[in-house]
Chain A
Amino acid sequence: MKAPRFSYVRPESLGSALELLAEHGDEARILAGVQSLMPTLNMRLSEPRLLIDINRIDALKGISFEDGTVRIGALARHAELLASPLVAEHLPLIAAAMPHVAHVAVRNRGTFGGSIALADPAAELPACAVALDATFVLASLRGRRTVPARSFFHGLYETALAEDELLVEARIPALAAGYRSSFLEFARRHGDFALAGVCCHAHVDGAVLSDVRLACFGSEDRPLFAGAASAAAEGRAWSGDVKQAVKAALGGDLDPIGSFHASAATRLHLAQVLTGRALDRMVRAG
C-alpha cells in the first residue's frame, strides 16, 4: 500500500527540531532511518500529520570515545556501528550483536537512536543497552535529562520519552579490565527479529563471575534485565550446577509472550539454552 498524506519538514538544527516537536506533539513523528516507521506508514498503521526528518542534524551524528565512555549519536547508522573500531574495541557486546541486526540494506539506513526510541521488544540494541548500563540523553525545549537504560523501556514500544522529547545520544561505559561480553540469539532467518536472545556482560576472574548482567530480548514486551538469573551466577565459579541454577532462575525472571512464531514455552526454553551457552562461551573465551 501507499503511505497516507503527511507534511514533511527537514530541520537543520536540534533546536528547530525540538521546537517542531513541542509545537506538534503527538501529531508529529521523528523520521530517522525510517526502516521501522516506513512499513507502518505504507501499511497505514500510523498516520502522522507531520514527519520531522532529523537526518541532516550534525549534532546527532557520530560515535566517539572519551573518559571511559562511548558516545553513540542517535543518527549513527547500524552499518557505522558494525564497521566502527571504537565499538569493536570498547563495546564488544554491541560488535557481536550488530551482524544480527536486520540485513545489509536496512543496516545502511537504520539508526541506533531509531532502534532505541522505537523499543521493539525483539531488537538487539535495546537489550545491549540494558546489559551495558547505558544512559540515554533526552532533549526537549524544557531542557535535557538522562535516563538509565534499565528504566527507559516501559513496555511494548513504550519508553520514557515524552511527546516533546528527542533521543540525542547514548553514553555507554567502555569495557573495563577483566570484563567480558557474550551475545546469542535465535531467529528463523539470518537478520530476522529474534524469537529469543540474550546479552551477557560480567567480570570474569578465572571461572568466577561477578557484576553479572544478563538481559533477554524477544521473549517479553521489552528488553528485560534478568535480575534473578544474574544473581544466580554472581560471585560463583561457572559450572554445570551454576548453569542449571541460572536457567532455573531465568524461568522466574521471564514470562514470555507466545505468538504464532513460537509459543511461550518454546521462547523460555530458547532463552534458557541460549543463556547457558552464552555464559559457557564467555567463560571459555579467556
Chain B
Amino acid sequence: MQEFADIALTVNGDAVARRVETRQHLVDFLRIELGLTGSHLGCEHGVCGACTVRVDGAVVRGCLMLAVQADGADVWTVEGLSDTGEIADLQQAFIERNALQCGYCTPGMLLTAAEMLEAGRRMTRAEIRAFLSGNFCRCTGYHAIVDAIETAMQGRFGG
C-alpha cells in the first residue's frame, strides 16, 4: 500500500515505464509526465469530455481513470492517432466543415468520433448526436461537428 506505484504501459505504440503518484489521473500523467498535451483537461470531473483518450480500444474519460490503473494498458491519444493517419480523413472533414473554433474540445471530439467510425457504418444525425452527448463544445453549437463526422462516414462507407 503506497502513495506511489511503478507502472508500465504502451502509449501511442511506445512502451513507457514510470513511477507515478497513485492519486494522479491518466490525463495529468499523459500531459505532465509524457508531454502529450493534445489531450485537454476541462472540468476534471467527468462532464465535459475534453480529456477523452482511448484505453484498450475504447474511449474513456482521462480524468476519471487513475494513471496507476493504466498499468499494462494500451493507450492512444490524438497525437498517436494523428501520426498513424487513422483519423486523417476525420481531421480533414473537421477542417472542411469548420467543425472547430477555439479547438479545446477537438481532440476529445476526434477520439469519440473515431470510435463511432469503428462501428463500420453510416449513422443517422440523431445517432451521431447521441454518441457525442458526452463531449461538450462551447463554440460550434455541434451542427458543424455532426456535419464533419457525417462527411467522414460518407467517405469511408459510401452514400
Show the binding face of A for B, using Cβ within 8 Å. Answer: 1-10, 31, 34-35, 38-39, 41-43, 50-51, 53, 55, 79, 99, 102-106, 108-109, 189-191
Contacts and interface: CB of A to CB of B under 8 A. Distances in A.
A2 B23 contact: yes
B1 A35 contact: no
B84 interface: no
A190 B21 CA distance: 35
Contact of B66 (A1, A8, A106): A8
Given A7-B2, A35-B61, A104-B59, A191 B134 contact: yes
Closest A-B pairs by Cβ, 9 of them: A103-B134, A39-B45, A8-B22, A108-B58, A7-B1, A190-B133, A38-B64, A3-B23, A105-B59
Given A8-B2, A79-B58, A105-B134, A38 B22 contact: no
B133 A105 contact: no
Contacts of B60: 105, 108-109
Contacts of A51: 22
Interface in B1-27: 1-3, 5, 21-23, 25
A56 B106 CA distance: 33
B43 to A, nearest CB: 9
Interface of B is mostly: mixed
Nearest to B4: A8
A53 B59 contact: no
Contacts of B46: 35, 38-39, 106
B97 interface: no
B25 A42 contact: yes
A16 to B, nearest CB: 12
Contact of A7 (B3, B28, B69, B129): B3
Contacts of B96: none
Contacts of B135: 103
B65 A7 contact: no
Nearest to A110: B64
Nearest to A190: B133
